[in-house]
Structure 1
């Protein structure tokens, strides 16, 4: 006699209903709570700041907004007819204050030792991240970075690579206009080289003969190889080619690039540049790990051999001893290119294709569905685990080399960079690559354009939103355990209420604009 299974019909949890309502109205479902203090009267309020995630499984509303912003950025820069003008802003008082604080910390770091030096280094890196978030372009040198030494390297092209013509690059980014006023642009796809025959599901026909080492190294250095391709392309065509590109994995898990390129370039030139582009990685040899079971130890400010107590070779010294490149990365022979006219339906489809996977985590795009795919991913990940990703990578310790920036907190042989994660399998951290003169605007500028459009639409029907005076407010994150902080669900409910009101005002503004634009009926 079988036991009867009784199913209870339960209603959804209140938190799930709140989350679904927030997603329906485009409200961030996991906002950061910020404490805002008015310096004039000392009053305090709590504000939910959107998380800004670009992954739908984390926050659906924020991810969709981020994708829409990228689509706008791609559309505005693809078929420009005039040169974009980039305005460099003056440093803000907050940026200047942070830079002064950084200078003081670097001065303290020069005389600090041990754990104090490690703490100061982390604080300096935190300041650098904060400066970057405030719009400061470029990165400052690490406080422990030694002056760059320029090892002697041959600048001659490899004999196995075809030569390329070289022209002086003109200071223009807009493509040529053809008879009839047409100004086409390009859509280009580049792939990695082959590492062995693969099946339709992307797995190797013969895993034992598949070149996993070269696949791992190509994935780690793919972004640098792409940069070299753009350099070569500009030198060949003779003008400053601009691009909006996204990096995605193929079925075999090798990265490939889709790029919207401004201006028209012949298919033959694109194939020639791809065939002639290569990247020589002038790093110390890292074919076979020296340490596996016994690992180096940290003694007196450096890593030493666990048996002989001899210090490991510093990165700079190991680099000086390099006589040949440790790896040479190239693209595959398959190059897809297509001309696209601006404003066409085809252009809209390709913009959607470019941004199709931006709302998914890399692990969601390359998810393994069969045991054969899982084994393929495991073998590639095992190779990536022992492939250094940068001069600061802790994996160098396995090869007897002390990486840059190593300290007592360095995890022996384990690097936290994205290249070594099982969920990314070597794909670069930046999924979107945009040239500096693409649209003449940053993402913050595009957000401001959207805000200005909505503000103008509301003002046209008499709805004026006052701009808050941020100079009289102090913003900082709430402290853990602060009992005065309202629950997140209260912040969500408040944000949902505001969004419903704003949407009603905006819809009313659009309706009024349509009515005013409608011609009066004939008498």
Structure 2
């Protein structure tokens, strides 16, 4: 694939040109080998990143795919073919975890906390579509909702800056724990909302940071629910975490941390050699203590924004764009340039990250060693402060899970199926224009040779070993060819044949070369 370099074209210029035309700026090279014929071609593939800091074109494509997913399921008027049952898998206990993250059942009281208001509870109807309302001239309205949930205050914030007025009194520890456990309280909120509303409420939600760097949730909710009820559910929702206490770490920064003992298959104190308490023993002690309290209680904030949405309308389109606005950015750089951040903002981020880095994110987190407890299912190589979960990274600031939360009955499709829908539209337009289409399954993994093994084999090629400008150039040619064919096909469909049709396959790889 190598060609002579153009001395007037730099790698940066090639990068910027690709980005301007919506072409992946970090393409992957793969050698595709047909085991039956021995023929090999080099294929350019997009990197598929969802972060604009890595690849703007791929991140934008991923964001637009999420927009399609959100729009398609928000205002459904009929139930999906596979209707949900009245008993939801999400329908668990009121306030406590009855089953821990490892699947072990522990019996605890499900009595609601005395400091939390009671919530209404209705039989859950076997439906996911909201109620309809008759308007004038026989018009029927089926409104939906756009809801924003926040976390509580941890201290006064300087207006417009997102920086605490006083970092000494700002509750960074609570802010860090709330961020790490934010998905748990959102799950609880959905359960409570379904019980209070009396039907299987469906949602498409995105988790984003506020300027103060605390996560909050924007949710497109199908159907209309009284605003007072949504606020009541939000005020009464909490999640209790029954983990061992982390009030006092046993090992401080600078201490020699527990070490792995091969004979005991566990971690021991580096000085005495005594085995640390196991995760199961720590939970047993918690169960036997009549005065035990949850390690942490996560609650939602008082600020709740609720909007009624009717589709199709400009408000609905605007809400979808707003909901997916920051999906291409990480939690840390949503509001700031990571290379040119204000000093006060950087100090705030560093302080929050320092807390998140050493707090436990799950029963298997390596940070439990700081508190003299072996994490669940321990193994060699664990180091406190270096848990492998991305939740502890400065880029994620506590959110180790998915940024987009979609209920199972939103569209009844996976994200890959939505992507296939978009591809099918393009294929249909091209086919209607009479353009040849290659067999979409020609390289599929289920295409087998006579020996029963996959016919096609993919081998990675290190892009750094090839000329970056050449790879980008081939990718641009491929993109322009496909775009021209698609525009030509649309013109044919709209106006009839204006002239001869380019019959080249729309899926031919211009960059493919015999190996």
TM-score range, shorter chain: 0.7 to 0.9
User: 1:31 Cα deviation (Å)?
Assistant: 2.0
User: 1:149 Cα deviation (Å)?
Assistant: 3.2
Q: Does 1:199 align with 2:158?
A: yes
Q: Within 1, Cα distance between the matches of 2:116 and 2:243?
A: 21
What's the TM-score, normalizing by structure 2? 0.82
Residue pair 2:260, 2:381 contacting (<8 A) in 1 also: no
Matches within 5 A, 1:415-454: 415-454=387-426
Q: Does 1:312 align with 2:286?
A: no
User: 1:511 Cα deviation (Å)?
Assistant: 1.2
Matches within 5 A, 1:70-149: 70-85=66-81, 148-149=103-104
Residue pair 1:195, 1:215 contacting (<8 A) in 2 also: yes
User: 1:262 Cα deviation (Å)?
Assistant: 0.5
Q: Does 1:257 align with 2:217?
A: yes
User: 1:212 Cα deviation (Å)?
Assistant: 1.4
Match of 1:362 in 2: 331
Q: Within 1, Cα distance between the matches of 2:183 and 2:383?
A: 25
Q: Does 1:175 align with 2:148?
A: no
Q: Does 1:299 align with 2:261?
A: yes
Unaligned runs of 5+ residues in structure 2 are 1-6, 84-99, 287-291, 449-454, 498-515
Residue pair 2:179, 2:398 contacting (<8 A) in 1 also: yes
SS in 1 for 2:231: helix
Unaligned runs of 5+ residues in structure 1 are 1-10, 88-144, 518-523
Q: Within 1, Cα distance between the matches of 2:224 and 2:317?
A: 18
Deviation sequence 1:94-144 (CA, Å, 0-9, x none): xxxxxxxxxxxxxxxxxxxxxxxxxxxxxxxxxxxxxxxxxxxxxxxxxxx
Residue pair 2:259, 2:269 contacting (<8 A) in 1 also: yes
What's the TM-score, normalizing by structure 1? 0.81
Matches within 5 A, 1:342-361: 342-361=311-330
SS in 1 for 2:349: helix
**Cα RMSD between the aligned structures?**
2.4
User: 1:345 Cα deviation (Å)?
Assistant: 0.3
SS in 2 for 1:35: strand
Residue pair 1:223, 1:428 contacting (<8 A) in 2 also: no
Residue pair 2:356, 2:392 contacting (<8 A) in 1 also: yes
Q: Within 1, Cα distance between the matches of 2:182 and 2:275?
A: 32
Match of 2:230 in 1: 270
Q: Within 2, Cα distance between the matches of 1:480 and 1:372?
A: 41
User: 1:203 Cα deviation (Å)?
Assistant: 1.9
Q: Within 1, Cα distance between the matches of 2:312 and 2:411?
A: 16
Match of 1:478 in 2: 460
Q: Within 1, Cα distance between the matches of 2:279 and 2:335?
A: 34
Give the number of the structure whose residues are more often helix, by fraction.
1
- What is the total number of aligned residue pairs between the two structures? 449
4+ aligned runs moved over 6 Å, structure 1:
none
Match of 2:95 in 1: none
Which stretch shifts more, 307-316 or 373-382?
Answer: 373-382
Q: Structure 1 residues 493 and 389 mapped into 2: Cα distance closer, same or farther (>3 Å)?
A: same
Q: Structure 1 residues 453 and 480 mapped into 2: Cα distance closer, same or farther (>3 Å)?
A: closer
Deviation sequence 1:306-339 (CA, Å, 0-9, x none): 1111111111111222232100010111111010
User: 1:430 Cα deviation (Å)?
Assistant: 1.5
User: 1:296 Cα deviation (Å)?
Assistant: 0.7
Residue pair 1:455, 1:464 contacting (<8 A) in 2 also: no
Q: Within 2, Cα distance between the matches of 1:72 and 1:408?
A: 44
Match of 1:246 in 2: 206
Residue pair 1:296, 1:412 contacting (<8 A) in 2 also: no
Q: Within 1, Cα distance between the matches of 2:10 and 2:20?
A: 15
User: 1:284 Cα deviation (Å)?
Assistant: 0.5
Q: Within 2, Cα distance between the matches of 1:160 and 1:18?
A: 60
Q: Structure 1 residues 12 and 248 mapped into 2: Cα distance closer, same or farther (>3 Å)?
A: farther
Match of 1:325 in 2: 294
Match of 2:120 in 1: 165
SS in 1 for 2:164: coil
Deviation sequence 1:179-226 (CA, Å, 0-9, x none): 131011000000001112221112222322221111111111001110
Q: Does 1:286 align with 2:286?
A: no
Deviation sequence 1:254-303 (CA, Å, 0-9, x none): 11101100000111010000011000001010122101212111112211
